[in-house]
Chain A
Amino acid sequence: MSTDRPAPSRACEAADAGRRAVEATATRAPDARRRAVEAAGEVRDPEMPMLTLADLGVLRGVEVERDADGGEVVIASITPTYTGCPAMATMRDDLVHRLNDAGFDRVEVRVVLHPAWSSDWISERGRAALHAAGLSAPGPAPRRAGPVLLTLSGPPRPAPPCPRCGSAATRLTSEFGATACKALYRCTDCLEPFEHVKEI
């Protein structure tokens, strides 16, 4: 069992701080908003169910507004991890369902396209959950000034340690995996394949 996961990046700490701020606001805010934030915060990612949408950084905000008749409307905002993410419809339906169950009859789910999702937004709690489920968490997202460089040879990133046995002897199988956000690796020590959430 490995405990040498990469130290959280600054951006990741910022994401955690952001999440704590949302939760702190929720505890101060009126009861309805707190309940809405709690309910939305329980919804899990359909493709990586060890993560909540909040821990994945996909849930960008939960507000409770009043319409002209004084009725409560929950506005939940989500952003896609990848442009073609086919799970957006399921996420929307899961949010609506969970908020309905929490007593909010009217729920509106909005799409936020800017800023684009970054793997840096996965919270520390989310990274621990990925690791516990045998997935390799992303390192810091690439920062660059100027054009994107073409990488014709060599590994696209330092090989991540095996999330099962902790060995550093891992090799990239493919940059594309079972979902848009993951690459495929294999461990040459324990011989198990594993998935790595890509840095973007």
Chain B
Amino acid sequence: MSDEHGSVFDGLLGGDSSQWAFGTDFEDPLAGVDTTTPGGVDPAELAAYCLMLGDDALIISQRLSEWCSRAPDLEEDIALANMALDLLGQARLLLARAAAADPGVVPALPEGSPVPPEDALAFFRDDRDFRNVRLAEVANGDFAHVVVRLLLFSTARLALLERLRTSRDQVLAAVAAKGVKEVAYHRDWAGRWFLTLARGTEESHRRLLAALDELWPLQGELVAAHPLEGSLAESGVGVDPASLREEVDAVLDQVLTVSGVPRPERAPLAGVGGRTGRDGLHTEALGRLLAEMQVVARAHPSGRW
């Protein structure tokens, strides 16, 4: 310390960080991982694609986290928190990968800020820069609502990750290979609860149908072709969501049939001027979600935790 009047806490600064349970530094989730952009791929496109997949996971994770301590019983509370954690892990790697591909996507922070790139992306972007599907962001409802949302989301996510395992981008391929194992558990959880609620009481059945009616129009976005995703699918890095439609429909039909619930006929929610969540066009719910999620980080842009 240059200050000769150092405080008694000086001995705790610097030097051996192992006295802290989690150290004093942020750790790079991609430390030592090769993040070279594959040949023939535009790094800015790759970064935008990673934001799409990462933001889906981050925003759903935040919605699932809101369930913590509110589920019908302890087991389901733990299950929802576990799924939130899996998706937060996927989001962290995907946002870090986006930043490594194109540092230009990371919001500028004050000189010397210790906030790592994936945190800067999560906590310092405005809603229009988020590229998640709108299904991820709508406000939570009752337990049937989270079951339906997870069924719709994890069915498409699992089909996508299965194909992404052969991505030419090594990080995406690795995230996908691991994510398949995790999301398979999420889809089973949601599918089993869907069946239970459908066959449960009149009240559970009514609530399930109401949730399905609300969320079904948002499902189409998960399997709709977007120019950027199409372009990256062509170069062997991404997956065209339109190619998932058949498999996703088959799985959802399986759940609906076994549950005795008719397939909803509501049309997909239109975009605004053709723009949807993937283009940064969101519902009002995202702004409120971000306000709560980002408020502490934004108040301390140079914070060290």
Binding site for B on A (CB under 8 A): 77, 80, 82-86, 88-90, 92-94, 96-97, 100, 108-117, 147-148, 150-153, 156, 173-178, 180, 184, 198, 200
Contacts and interface: CB of A to CB of B under 8 A. Distances in A.
Interface residues of B, number: 56
Q: Is the interface of B mostly helix, strand, loop or mixed?
A: helix
Nearest to B22: A89
A152 B75 contact: no
A123 to B, nearest CB: 20
B188 A175 contact: yes
A110 B32 contact: yes
Contacts of A151: 188, 191-192
B90 interface: yes
User: Chain A's interface: helix, strand, loop or mixed, by majority?
Assistant: loop
Contacts of A200: 181-182
A82 B89 contact: yes
B76 to A, nearest CB: 8
A114 B27 contact: no
Interface of B: 16-18, 20-23, 27-33, 75-76, 78-79, 81-83, 85-90, 92-93, 158-159, 162, 170-171, 173-175, 177-182, 184-185, 187-189, 191-192, 195, 247, 251, 254-255, 258
Given A93-B23, A152-B192, A180 B82 contact: yes
6 contacts: A80-B178, A93-B22, A111-B33, A113-B171, A114-B174, A153-B192
A150 B181 CA distance: 12
A62 to B, nearest CB: 13
A150 B18 contact: no
Top 10 A-B residue pairs of the complex, sorted by shortest distance between their CB atoms: A84-B89, A110-B32, A83-B89, A113-B174, A97-B18, A176-B79, A174-B75, A176-B82, A84-B85, A116-B178
